[in-house]
A and B are shown apart, each in its own frame.
Chain A
Amino acid sequence: QKEVEQDPGPLSVPEGAIVSLNCTYSNSAFQYFMWYRQYSRKGPELLMYTYSSGNKEDGRFTAQVDKSSKYISLFIRDSQPSDSATYLCAMSGNRGSTLGRLYFGRGTQLTVWP
């Protein structure tokens, strides 16, 4: 079992839809949770960062972390064609083998059509 599981999709939605992306994980040592966006043939860029449990909002993006369920989500409101990309969840911890490194999900490919 991989440490971080993410449905690769693909996910295709019309412009304006609310998109929900999710990851589950198995290592309870994870404390830092991130979402990266990767456009085709580009490097990943950090979208959202959350420490421990809770919600964080940034514009049209909301990240949620439920540590009790080992489940994280990214919501995109009013999705735009420019949101079409692969979204990768990533996690890290502050002890042992989780310190100083990112564990990535496989990424979900999202297409938003006009």
Chain B
Amino acid sequence: DTAVSQTPKYLVTQMGNDKSIKCEQNLGHDTMYWYKQDSKKFLKIMFSYNNKELIINETVPNRFSPKSPDKAHLNLHINSLELGDSAVYFCASSQDTRVETQYFGPGTRLLVL
């Protein structure tokens, strides 16, 4: 039983394209997150949603738009992809804002050519 799942696992695309990454959690958590991990392994938060409401919105380009259709799902849509968007994107979930309960998904490896 996968707690936090992401699709796709790998994404290779051309500059300028639009792509989406999907995340689902079956832990019954009510807070979900998107993190970006760069080539040097630095992991930084991008967004978080609590009960479908955006609560953290870091300084990311507005080409990135998260959407939470329900508590168990958080998707990330990226418009006009750029080379610098190449990274691993991790979804995570937690119970409320209790970060010590945060579980991470397996990651989506995005390569922009």
Minimum distance in angstroms from B106 CB to a CB of chain A = 5
- Interface majority SS on A: helix, strand, loop or mixed? strand
Among A19-27, A40-48, A61-69, A70-78, the stretch in contact with B: A40-48
Q: Which A-chain residue is minimally distant from B31 (CB atoms)?
A: A100
Please, how many angstroms separate the alpha-carbon atoms of A69 and B56 in the complex? 29
B43 to A88, Cβ gap below 8 A? yes
Which one of B13-21, B65-73, B74-82, B94-102 is at the interface?
B94-102
Judged by DSSP, the binding face of B is strand
Given contacts A42-B107, A43-B105, A92-B99, A100 and B44 within 8 Å (CB-CB): no
Most A-side CB within 10 Å, residue of B45, B48, B102, B103: B102
Question: Which one of A34, A88, A104, A109 lies within 8 Å of B100 (CB-CB)?
Answer: A34
Q: Given A43-B106, A106-B42, does the pair A100, B90 have CB atoms closer than 8 Å?
A: no
Report Cα–Cα, A51/B4, bound state, in Å: 25
Closest A residue, CB atoms, query B96 = A100
Q: In the complex, A106 Cα to B102 Cα: how many Å? A: 18
Q: Which residue of B lies closest to A94 (CB)?
A: B97
Instruction: Please give me the residue from chain A that is nearest to B6 by CB atom.
Output: A43
CB distance B99 to A34 under 8 Å?
Answer: yes
Count chain B residues whose beta carbon lies closer than 8 angstroms to a beta carbon of A: 25
In the assembled complex, how far is the CB of residue A114 from the closest CB belonging to chain B, in whole angstroms? Answer: 25
The 3 closest A-B pairs by CB, nearest first: A100-B97, A43-B104, A104-B43
8 extra interface residue pairs, beta carbon distance < 8 Å, beyond A32-B100, A51-B100: A43-B4, A43-B104, A43-B105, A49-B100, A92-B99, A99-B97, A101-B56, A101-B99
A-B contact pairs, 14 of them (CB 8 A): A34-B99, A38-B41, A41-B107, A42-B107, A44-B90, A45-B104, A51-B100, A86-B41, A100-B55, A101-B33, A101-B45, A101-B48, A102-B102, A106-B41
| A-binding residues in B (CB < 8 A) | 4, 31, 33, 40-45, 48, 50, 55-56, 90, 92, 97, 99-100, 102-107, 109
